[in-house]
Chain A
Amino acid sequence: METKYTKNAGGECGDCNLCGNCGSLDCPEGKNMYTMIIYSENFAGILNQITAVFTRRQVNIESLNVCASSTPGVHKYTITCFCNEEMAMMLTKQIEKKIDVLQANYFTDDQIFILEACLLKVNTNMMLNNKDVGRIVRIHGARIVEVNPTYSIIEKKGITADILSLFHQLDKLGVVLQFVRSGRIAVTKSCIEQLDRYLEERESQR
């Protein structure tokens, strides 16, 4: 799926619903979305150090996910932001400079598998009275996970564009009570596991 997050010159939203014109995401001209994947030791305070690098360089973090990685004792940070490649390079270098950061790399969307999730709370009455709601849910492959007389909950996993498309279409019908989207998680498409390689190399130098 093409996900170039640049503004359309004609002032019209592209089908991705992600350009700045639809107001859904801030996507400054000439910038692309980069996903930073960072690994660190499991010490307190590293997230602060990482986000401080973005703040100093005046780059907004669009989404952030932190969790333990598949390697014991190593934490993984998945951060998205809009910037140019030069900035992405500087950010990752300055993050990697932090003593307890193992690796910091940046990726474009074609280099990684991406997943995000969202929850939508909608008005049950309005949902039942509007056939379009069910149609939109089916088109987007979303699931209704709770129905009670007052509200219903819709859940969707996917990429940013599909999730935002679901939200915007439902929002136009006026049924949405709450919407929340998770931070992006991503794994690389590369056949080489860079972190494992790095750790092996470092252990051999110990």
Chain B
Amino acid sequence: MMERISGAEAMMRSLEHEGVEVLFGYPGGAIIPTYDALYDHKETLNHILVRHEQGAIHAAQGYARVSGKVGCAIVTSGPGAMNTISGIADAMVDSTPMVVICGQVGAAMLGTDAFQEVDVIGVTQPISKWAFQIRRSEDIAWAVSRAFYIARSGRPGPVVLDFTKNAQTGLVDFEPQKVNFIRSYKPAPVPEDSVIEKAARLINNSVKPFVLVGQGVELGNAQEELREFLEKAQLPAARTLLGLSALPSDHPLNMGMLGMHGNLGPNMMTNQCDLLIAIGMRFDDRVTGNLNTYAKQAKIIHFDIDPSEINKNVRVNLAVVGDCKQTLPAVTRLLDKTTHQAWIDGFKPYAEKEDNKVIHPAIYPTEGPLLMGEVVRKVSEATEHKAILVTDVGQNQMFACRYFKYSQNRSIVTSGGCGTMGFGLPAAMGATFGAPDRTVCMFCGDGGLQMTIQELGTIMEQQAPVKIILLNNDYLGNVRQWQYMFYNKRYSFTPMVNPDFELIARGYRIPCRTVVERADLEGAIQEMLSTEGPFLLQCAVKAEDDVLPMIPPGSNIDEMLLEVK
């Protein structure tokens, strides 16, 4: 039964039809008609008013990453839309499903440099999975449904809907649509049986296999399928930054984290294995180091849903292009039950060496100032390793990802490909809506916190239970570390003069505490976790601490530094 309604109302009903429950947004001139329609849908569409559009986009990312649903942000034209750009680019490279609705000037004024008009489609096309301008009310039902289908299917990503004012106000005979087929778009290719057989044969013939687990496993909800795959043939595995919670930290086949600040064993063994099995990861330069020496001795199998990832950075011997939820069990069925005990034991000396030289001193110091690593591990322990970890970007991120432990799926929200400072606080706020039953711990530095600190306002208003752990060293620590290591200790604009963060938290009526002494740390963490709602725990950490081990940029992955000279 068709009904004649405004385009703005059609947008609300289309969003409801797609199952949207939460919207993060900020009103403005060109989106007022839509906000007017939203006023009548407050019961079904929970709109969270952020304090800056960048907050909306990162909150939608955090929401999407922990829930697996499509995150949704709604902003006005021009500056509103432009403030979401870094989040759209971030979601694109980190494969986060999102729909961003931007207001736009009326179609008749497009191209005239009208007030708050920006060519949003032109700007967002290269950094989104799909960008579409809705210029007629008649297109709303189709465009919204298509947007959600594209955002969530295949390799997920952000979609931008540029919604002109005339399309919002125009009347339309509305009927919801369901797009689940686009002839030019194959979300999940299906590999030939022969490819599956070849993959199994390569694995069965391998003496020293090594599995690289990426976020694709979580995006494909294939965590269980991955475990069966690993366990049947006893394949040792390591995870990328975004894949950290795809396999529990304590799983016996989990050898740690890959990459520049990953664990020693996985990086060293990448260049010793005879078969590298990459699943849902994209061979980022932070994982591979120097490509000319990367796993040259090994055959490589690449499982991925996105054909354009195959042979992009690393030439592979076999590509299994498809949804790993299907391809992994298909290969598992053909695997021989076996053990690779001697090979797996080969990881141990590296783990012991790293433990002695790096990990133990980082998380169990007995004297000196607080260290970031020990704070992270203490928080992880206090949450029984069940919390969701959200991080900002920089040293706080690397320490948090290294020393937090993961026991549940979808427990890591961090800006990987883009490395967007300011991501943490709004993403954590969004995560509390995506996983309301879980504890959300957000680690950030003094630099990143101040990039989106206005979202403390949203957190206050919503009483979003974000546990903010500020690792304050009065430095832009990661850049400072690089300046120390590679730029002759010339600290060009990395020391920071900071405000009184406790005073700021109090201004937002957010409970807070500062810890300076080691003896106070556990008690403060307990206070943070037992306080209902948000909490800011400021830890005064060692000013010049270094994230180790480290593969210097462009170096070979088996040349990891365990200490800074």
Contacts and interface: CB of A to CB of B under 8 A. Distances in A.
Interface of A: 40-41, 45, 48-49, 52, 56, 86, 89-90, 93-94, 96-97, 99-102, 199, 202-203, 205-206
A70 to B, nearest CB: 17
A49 B125 contact: yes
A99 B122 contact: no
B184 interface: yes
Contacts of A86: 311
Contacts of A89: 311
B57 to A, nearest CB: 21
A99 B183 contact: no
A52 B184 contact: no
A99 B125 contact: no
Contact of B125 (A41, A48, A90, A205): A48
A96 B189 CA distance: 13
B519 interface: no
B184 A40 contact: yes
A41 B184 contact: yes
A202 B306 CA distance: 18
A91 to B, nearest CB: 10
Interface string B485-499: 000000000000000
A99 B184 contact: yes
A89 B311 CA distance: 9
B183 A97 contact: no
Given A48-B122, A49-B126, A202 B308 contact: no
Contacts of A96: 307-308
25 contacts: A40-B184, A41-B184, A45-B121, A45-B125, A48-B125, A52-B125, A56-B126, A89-B311, A90-B311, A93-B307, A93-B310, A96-B308, A97-B308, A99-B129, A99-B130, A99-B150, A99-B182, A99-B184, A99-B185, A100-B182, A101-B184, A202-B183, A205-B181, A206-B181, A206-B183
Given A49-B125, A99-B150, 5 more contacts: A45-B131, A56-B126, A93-B310, A96-B307, A99-B182
A102 B125 contact: no
B340 interface: no
Contacts of A49: 125-126
Given A45-B121, A52-B126, A99-B130, A90 B183 contact: no
Q: Which 10 A-B pairs have the closest CB atoms?
A: A93-B308, A202-B183, A102-B184, A97-B308, A99-B130, A52-B126, A99-B185, A94-B308, A100-B184, A206-B181
A203 B182 CA distance: 10
Q: How big is the B interface, by class? A: 20 to 34
Nearest to A95: B308
B312 interface: yes
A49 B124 CA distance: 10
Interface in B119-138: 121-122, 125-126, 129-131
Contacts of B306: 97
A102 B130 CA distance: 15
A202 B183 CA distance: 6
B183 A199 contact: yes
A27 B125 CA distance: 30
Contacts of A94: 308
Contacts of A99: 129-130, 150, 182, 184-185
Nearest to B146: A99
Contacts of B150: 99
Of A48, A56, A96, A97, the most chain B CB neighbours within 10 A belong to A97
A97 to B, nearest CB: 5
Nearest to A101: B184
Nearest to A74: B184
Nearest to A103: B184
Interface string B302-331: 000011101110000000000000000000
A202 B186 CA distance: 9
A199 B186 CA distance: 12
Contacts of B184: 40-41, 99-102
Nearest to A206: B181
Contacts of B122: 48
A206 B194 CA distance: 25
Contacts of B307: 93, 96-97
Contacts of B125: 45, 48-49, 52
A48 B182 CA distance: 20
Contacts of A56: 126
Nearest to B125: A49
Nearest to B121: A45
A56 B312 CA distance: 14
A101 B183 CA distance: 9
A203 B183 contact: yes
A122 to B, nearest CB: 40
Contacts of A40: 184
A56 B308 CA distance: 15
A90 B307 CA distance: 10
A89 B310 CA distance: 10
A65 to B, nearest CB: 20
A90 B312 contact: yes
A133 to B, nearest CB: 47
A84 to B, nearest CB: 13
A151 to B, nearest CB: 38
Contacts of A93: 307-308, 310
Given A45-B121, A52-B125, A94-B308, A102 B182 contact: no
A101 B130 CA distance: 12
A123 to B, nearest CB: 42
B106 to A, nearest CB: 18
A103 to B, nearest CB: 8
Contacts of A102: 183-184
Contacts of B182: 99-100
Nearest to B186: A202
A203 B183 CA distance: 7
A69 to B, nearest CB: 13
